[in-house]
A and B are shown apart, each in its own frame.
Chain A
Amino acid sequence: MRTIVVGAGPAGVRAVEQLVTAGLRPVWIDEAPDGGGRIYQRPPLGLTRDHRQLYGMEAGRARAVHDTLDALKSRTDWRPNTLVWHIDPHNRTLETLCAGQQATLTYDNAILCTGAMDRVIPLPGWTRPGVTTLGGAQIALKAQGCAIGQHVALVGTGPLLWLLAYQYLKNGARPVAVIDTTSFAHKARHAAALLPGGTVFWKGLWYMAAVRAAGTPVFEGARPVAITGSGDEVKAITFKTASGATRQITCDAVALGWGLKPEAQLADLAGVPFHFDEPQHNWVPEKDATGRTKVPAIYLAGDGAGIAGADAAEMAGARAALALLEDAGRTVPGPLTATLDGALARLSGFRATLERAFPFPADLARAMPDDTLVCRCEAISAGDLRAVGGRPATGAAPELNRAKAFTRLGMGRCQGRVCGPAGAEILATALGRDVAAIGRLRGQPPVKPVPLASATVQEAAE
């Protein structure tokens, strides 16, 4: 039985751990050189790898994931630096690319642990050099020891906004502003419901308190208006405060993000159905609580199957592997599956509350100025998109993929990863429909650009 695990973040590591414990030697593929996922990404050798410094309160978890990852590499067919760019669920094959070498791998079972990325709302000026995602600003710090500028403004909402503010502060790069689109009152209203989250809740409160205590200018319930600058320099961010006053703060870099979205392109190509999850306000691939999907032999775990955070990802990875083993006729430890099922159910409730505490401000995307680029790859503006949505019923784009065909929105290099959520809000408004009713940008192979000239190696099935 050839089992393939895609991804070596928290979910992938714990999935592989269970498979290896059961005596399997899975193929283990990760696009990064050294695993860990984005959350526990390690710097290259030569930079500090001190867990305490890099991962703060998550140091223990990060170390445990890294130790397990390193111990498992030699017990698997470990393939780092390898992109999976297509999956064919009928022939059960994966297409991979590593150092210019194309390979087709067959599988009997696959666990997809493909992670997540930032969910972005474009603002005027957001494509200028000096503007990154919150996740990007975090990776610059964590994996490369850099801040994205001298004077960094952080914009968006969600746990990552505050965690990043705290991490920049701790590393001697206090942000010049933290601009949270969620008001303090809104968060406070959800505080009681978040209490069952235990340490996650208290850590969040600690980050927020520490950022304020250090004198960081904090604006909650604010609305970003524009990032201004010239050439390849950011010079300021303009926003409206909760009271409606317009403020401008001088900065040379801006990081932005409103929660995360699943990197679910492979699940899509595998034929897994999706649904619109309202608390997350994201399209997510459908799986049951164990990670099984409606597609035979395809299992999902971690944030790639719906945002649930790193702790849940570890458990979901283990659980999906146990489901796979069970389906393959193996005996799996009953108490372990029961423990995981209980913990995952509790975390799922907490996550929905967390999403409600930091809601996606769809109105901000919907109100984007006509001349702002939505699609940064193909340079499609909000006005371009509204024009196709706003046509009379005949000839209009009634859903997102039609709008893609008309405008090229989402047809560029990033495949709609960045523009998808905001583009959907704009089109839904132009059509006068609910965002869940206009569909989502369908995944297309290759899920990331691959060179036409890559050499092909056909690997024999085991």
Chain B
Amino acid sequence: MRLKRLRDLDRPQINLTLDSTPVQALTGDTVLTALLAGGAGALSPNIFAQEPRAGFCHMAACQDCWVMVEGLGRVRACATQAADGMVVRRL
């Protein structure tokens, strides 16, 4: 899935990595927005269903957007602000 940015495109760019792949994002993005607008396609797969997932509720309830962030540990991508230099890994 790819989020489509509709406004506020003039924000400063930040750079993250997801599993060592560079992802360009904007200041003010959540990790979820940064990754899904930046072309990640999916976040951590569901281990029981063995299928890709990319979050569902965007409001910190469904727990479907877990990723690992260096220094923060396991987080919900939708409830975590992205930051320049952030190192993110799929679980």
Q: Report which A residues bind B (CB closer than 8 A).
A: 31-33, 38, 43-48, 100, 117-118, 127-133, 135-137, 139-141, 144-150, 171-173, 231-234, 252-253, 263, 373, 376-379, 412-414, 417-418, 448-449, 451
Contact = CB atoms under 8 A, between A and B. Distances in A.
Contacts of B17: none
Interface string B72-89: 011000010100000000
B48 A253 contact: no
Interface residues of B, number: 41
Interface of B: 1-8, 11-12, 27-30, 33, 37, 41-43, 46, 48-49, 51-64, 66, 73-74, 79, 81
23 contacts: A44-B28, A44-B81, A46-B8, A47-B7, A48-B8, A100-B73, A133-B56, A133-B57, A135-B57, A148-B1, A149-B3, A232-B41, A376-B46, A376-B53, A378-B48, A379-B46, A379-B49, A413-B63, A414-B61, A414-B64, A417-B62, A418-B57, A451-B74
A47 B53 contact: no
Contacts of B28: 43-47, 144
B3 A139 contact: no
Contact of B6 (A45, A128, A145, A379): A145
B49 A373 contact: yes
Contact of A127 (B4, B29, B30, B51): B51
A233 B1 contact: yes
A232 B42 contact: yes
Contact of A140 (B46, B58, B66, B81): B58
B45 to A, nearest CB: 10
A53 to B, nearest CB: 8
A160 B36 CA distance: 24
Contacts of B57: 117-118, 132-133, 135-136, 418
Q: Of A136, A137, A252, A413, which is in contact with the most chain B CB atoms at under 10 Å from its CB?
A: A136
Interface SS of B by simple majority: loop
A131 B56 contact: yes
Q: Of A38, A43, A132, which is in contact with the most chain B CB atoms at under 10 Å from its CB?
A: A132
B5 A145 contact: yes
A48 B61 contact: no
Q: Of B42, B59, B60, which is in contact with the most chain A CB atoms at under 10 Å from its CB?
A: B59
Contacts of A232: 1, 41-42, 52, 54
A30 to B, nearest CB: 11
B18 to A, nearest CB: 13
Contacts of B37: 146
A379 B48 CA distance: 6
B38 to A, nearest CB: 11
B33 A144 contact: yes
B8 A145 contact: yes
Given A146-B33, A172-B6, A117 B58 contact: no
B59 A139 contact: yes
Nearest to B40: A232
Considering the complex of A and B, which 8 residue pairs feature the smallest CB-CB distances, nearest first?
Answer: A129-B54, A136-B58, A413-B63, A130-B1, A379-B48, A379-B49, A232-B42, A46-B28
A149 B5 CA distance: 9
Q: Of B3, B27, B28, B53, which is in contact with the most chain A CB atoms at under 10 Å from its CB?
A: B3
Contacts of B62: 133, 376, 413-414, 417-418
A20 B29 CA distance: 34
A144 B30 contact: yes
